[in-house]
Chains A and B, each alone.
Chain A
Amino acid sequence: MPGSLPYLSIALISASALAYEILLMKLFSIIQWHHFAYMIISLALLGYGASGTFLSLFRERLQSYFPYAYIGNIILFGLSSIFCFIAAQQIPFNPLEILWDMKQLFWMFGLYLLLTLPFFFAANAIGLAFIYDKTAISGVYAADLLGAGLGSLGILGLLYLFFPASILQFIALAALFAALIGFKELSLKPNTGAVLLFVLSFLAVVLLGRVSTLHMNEYKDLSQTLRITGTQIVEERSSPLGMLSVVESPEVPFRYVPGLSMASVVEPPQQLGVFTNGDGMSAITKYPDKMEQLGYLDYQTSALAYHLGDPDKVLILGAGGGSEILQALYHKTKVIDAVEIDPQMVDLVGKKYAGFAGNIYAMEHVTIHTAEARAYVASSAQKYDLIQMAMVDSFGASSAGLQSLSENYLYTVEALQLYLRHLKPEGYLSVTRWLKLPPRDTLKLFATAITVLEKNGVEEPQKHLVLIRGLQTSTLIIKNGVFSSVEIENLSHFCDERFFDIVYYDGLEMSESNRYNILDKPYFFQGTQALFENREQYFSDYKFDIRPATDDRPYFYHFFKWETLYEIFALRGTGGLHLLEWGYLVLLASLLQAIIASIVLILLPMIRFRKAEKITIATSKKRVLLYFFALGFGFLFLEIYFIQRFILFLSHPLYTVAVVLSAFLIFAGLGSRYSKRLGTLKGYRKSARYGIFGILIFGLLYVVMLDHIFGFLLTQKELIKIAASVVLIAPLAFAMGMPFAMGLSELGRHSESLIPWAWGVNGCASVISAVAATLVAIHFGFTAVMAMALLFYLSAYFSFPESLSD
């Protein structure tokens, strides 16, 4: 008879594994790029699926040595978590060359294998516990989920306190601690061998921790900047939002002024470069002795609004290093509210380099708000003469399509509607973006603006819009009113003086639109005209997706169209590959690889099932496959849907992910724990169905009710909103913890040998579904993700793996 199970160590290993997953994503976003990090980590999580396959094949042998196999796998997780990362950094993988150089595929595969190992060991430990005592499955699953929930909170705290590279050691040590606890929980007697093993493992982790430094890809902006003589990092800050590196370059000064006009003769004052995760530079500019030295800021397209009117009260969304604040100060703005999401950035400009930056945040008429931009606007009752959004993303990421995977709620139809509501009559909303050729986001933003004005019931939207472009930037202004002839005159004057081209105002002639920065055809002019005249046709004809983003499909950076893929690929000889949208293609590649690997991992144990006749399987394998696959998909789809819904309710995306993820995991853990009692009373099948029924009811209820509930609570304090979120998630998550535990317990009743297989199937499904959910959301919206989640649970309802003889 099995002894008591090591629940505490299961929770701890689960917490460490989840923390490790999030940490790896952060680390790889720093050393590589976010989307490749996403692909590598997604595939590495197949370690869970591989563990199911491994346990299916070696179940009996491992079961008889359970305590040692369990402790051994935990220790291996600890050691490999740090070792594999260090080893992975030695692999010269350069994703940028992947389409040219076949070697890169080989390196990428090496990365997958290395990073799969830690997850494989962690999943082995948990999987072993499942098969060791089939009567305690609900408890094991509960410990697993509760641990994961706490891990997601713990890593957020650690990321605030420490640099990502140093957290690796904490996780490895936590795993060794879990092994020690497990040792005690399993009542194993310490002997010399065990003591030696722990001591050596501890020493290995400490030693490896000392060599675990980050080697950034040499193509990242920061790596390249640091090659320049005299440059050095003078300050580093880290938070869950990313790592900020402040760089000074005394010999070759930074002159970061995006889209500066050629007509500008003023050189910017001294600047410090600020890099986020080694990329996307912004600058903190030295406050000059004389305001005239800031004259260059009047030669950016973003300065247009100050020439159309005389805005007294300005809201700057995305304050960054403070250049838009300086621009507003240069134009003698009386009240400046600025919003910046990253407290580290606020601290750099407001405290650490306050003297350098001229104490701009301490100025009487400047107020800095540390908040997510849209959430700040939603909670504010203020109205402004000008809302200024300039260069909120970096050129590299923007132009290379690296952000196409990221949801962005700043540029959706609903977001623009919100900003417009916070404009005074005759106020301006000014949005400046990097210019891309062929036009993409400039036109998408223009289309969004038209849609918003139409939705707001504006009679002549064309009279509310102006758009200009310079060499590398474009600025769109939406006015809460009709542009007057004086304003249009000012616009022409502003552009003529700075060699900027006017793209749109009502009545603009084509000949006026392509004069200074000449394109072979006036694409921008043609695009804006077509968006008024024949929008739907233009959307479908255009080779990029420029339909407006909405809160349901918040992918502003997604421009990919399948029809264009072949054409772009055929243009690689003439430098056409930059037109490819990497983010989307990487997502697809991740999905394909995950599906292929999962098929192999799921089919492999089948051979053993067929060979070993003594294995008793009293249920349909198809049902097992369908049930656990559907649960894996359903769980992740629901979780992802709710994270997105709550992002707009809670004011900060980081807190949202932490609150929603941990609440889901913890309450699902409690649901699993409770299901044991229910299962004993009502039977496993009935209990699973109760759970699924609960999920369907609450799921549907929230689809209908959530907007109303959010509307009711929107103005409440943050703590109340967080508490309300937890209360809303609790019953749904509680129900979501039941079907998996009950399904696995049912297998324990009649088809024990399928338990590790089912665990593996669920692991594979979790990996595929995480990628698939993003694809579904990009194409069909998050409502479709929710609908599909409920369909998955519905199919689980009808495919419970009951015994064939029942």
Chain B
Amino acid sequence: MRRNYLGLTLVFLLGSTLLHSGMIEKQYDKARKGMVKIIEEEVDDTEWHTGRPKLAKATINAMESVKRHEFVPLSSRLNAYENRPLSIGYGQTISQPYIVAIMTDLLDLKHSDRVLEIGTGSGYQAAVLAEIVKEVYTIEVIRELGISAAARLEKLGYKNINTRIGDGYYGWEEHAPYDAIIVTAAAGNIPPPLIKQLRPGGKMIIPVKSYFYVQHLILVSKDERGTVSTRQIMPVIFVPLTGQH
């Protein structure tokens, strides 16, 4: 008799846990949609600076698909869909979703593209890219981060993301040229090997960071003749001189 009760209790607990996790997933889905909506509104506001009135459909879909809560520590899951940077340990952050969206969008990606990312971090940016393009190659210099990101991306079923641990300065030559490159671990300069590995007509984006925040973005374009030009983009709508806007 007692065994039956125990069995029933276990079944009840298991059932409620499953039900609960299903409900939580739904809550996350809802929160994610809310986050994307906020991002779209922000993008609309910042058109003046970024030149983008709205995000490409592919970017929106990617932001709606990737479960950001899977990329943050358990303690931050409740904040996963707030439009803010979050700590992921090792002194690293997962960028503000708005910044991830705008950086992805500025690369004008196509489904057939091959993208290189320097600085895997949590793997979130790579996952967003992987929703849009054919292949993503991502390199992380901090071993522990690289290992956990690779495991996470595998667990989430991303087959088109290739991870590596090592020095990002020389890129990943075997798979070059790339249609787009994101250097999320920006240094005081742009590594020349990366420019070399960028396909003519390709784009590279570099967030210039200090501590927790992205200061501005550098968008490097290489035209069909191989000529390189850069744009410095403030993702923020901020006119330094009053009365001029």
> Chain A interface (Cβ within 8 Å of chain B)?
94, 96-97, 100, 217-220, 223-224, 227-229, 251-253, 255-262, 264-265, 267, 395-396, 399-400, 436-439, 471-472, 499, 516-520, 523, 526-527, 530, 538, 541-544, 567-568, 571-579
B residues within 8 A CB of A218?
Answer: 89-91
B residues within 8 A CB of A472?
Answer: 188-189, 208
Contact of B42 among A438, A530, A574 (CB under 8 A): A574
- Minimal Cβ-Cβ distance residue in B for A517: B230
Which of B1-9, B66-74, B155-163, B211-219 contacts its partner? Answer: B211-219
Of B165, B230, B233, chain A has the most CB atoms within 10 Å of the CB of B230
**Interchain CB contact under 8 A, B238 and A97:** no
A residues within 8 A CB of B195?
Answer: 262
A252-B167, A499-B228, A541-B242 are contacts. A575–B214 as well, Cβ < 8 Å? Answer: yes
**Interchain CB contact under 8 A, A578 and B87:** no
Contact with A along B217-245 (1 / 0, CB 8 A): 01010000000111111111111111100
Interface residues of B in 31-86 (CB under 8 A from A): 38, 42, 45-46, 48-49, 51, 79, 82-85
Complex formed: what's the CA distance from A527 to B241 in Å? Answer: 9
**Interchain CB contact under 8 A, B214 and A499:** no
Of A94, A530, A575, chain B has the most CB atoms within 10 Å of the CB of A575
Complex formed: what's the CA distance from A702 to B238 in Å? Answer: 46
Contact of B144 among A227, A252, A264, A571 (CB under 8 A): A227
Complex formed: what's the CA distance from A523 to B238 in Å? Answer: 12
A97-B87, A400-B210, A574-B45 are contacts. A255–B169 as well, Cβ < 8 Å? Answer: yes
**Interchain CB contact under 8 A, B238 and A576:** yes
**Interchain CB contact under 8 A, B91 and A219:** yes
B residues within 8 A CB of A542?
Answer: 240-242
Contact with A along B107-136 (1 / 0, CB 8 A): 000000000000000000000000000000
Query: In the assembled complex, how far is the CB of residue B44 from the closest CB belonging to chain A, in whole angstroms?
Result: 11
Complex formed: what's the CA distance from A34 to B82 in Å? Answer: 29
Contact of A571 among B145, B190, B236 (CB under 8 A): B236
Contact of A579 among B46, B165, B188, B238 (CB under 8 A): B238
> Chain B interface (Cβ within 8 Å of chain A)?
38, 42, 45-46, 48-49, 51, 79, 82-85, 87, 89-92, 96, 98-99, 141-145, 165-167, 169, 187-192, 195, 208, 210-216, 218, 220, 228-243
Query: In the assembled complex, how far is the CB of residue B102 from the closest CB belonging to chain A, in whole angstroms?
Result: 8
**Interchain CB contact under 8 A, B211 and A471:** no
**Interchain CB contact under 8 A, A100 and B84:** yes
- Minimal Cβ-Cβ distance residue in B for A224: B91
**Interchain CB contact under 8 A, A256 and B91:** no
Query: In the assembled complex, how far is the CB of residue A396 from the closest CB belonging to chain B, in whole angstroms?
Result: 5
Closest 6 CB pairs of A and B: A260-B189, A578-B213, A218-B91, A438-B240, A258-B188, A252-B167
Complex formed: what's the CA distance from A436 to B215 in Å? Answer: 8
B residues within 8 A CB of A439?
Answer: 240
A227-B142, A517-B232 are contacts. A578–B188 as well, Cβ < 8 Å? Answer: no
Complex formed: what's the CA distance from A516 to B230 in Å? Answer: 6
A257-B188, A259-B188 are contacts. A575–B235 as well, Cβ < 8 Å? Answer: yes
- Minimal Cβ-Cβ distance residue in A for B90: A227
Complex formed: what's the CA distance from A265 to B191 in Å? Answer: 9
Contact of B231 among A220, A518, A544, A567 (CB under 8 A): A518
**Interchain CB contact under 8 A, B87 and A94:** yes
Contact of B51 among A228, A267, A520, A568 (CB under 8 A): A520
B residues within 8 A CB of A265?
Answer: 192
Contact of A219 among B84, B211, B243 (CB under 8 A): B211
**Interchain CB contact under 8 A, B230 and A471:** yes
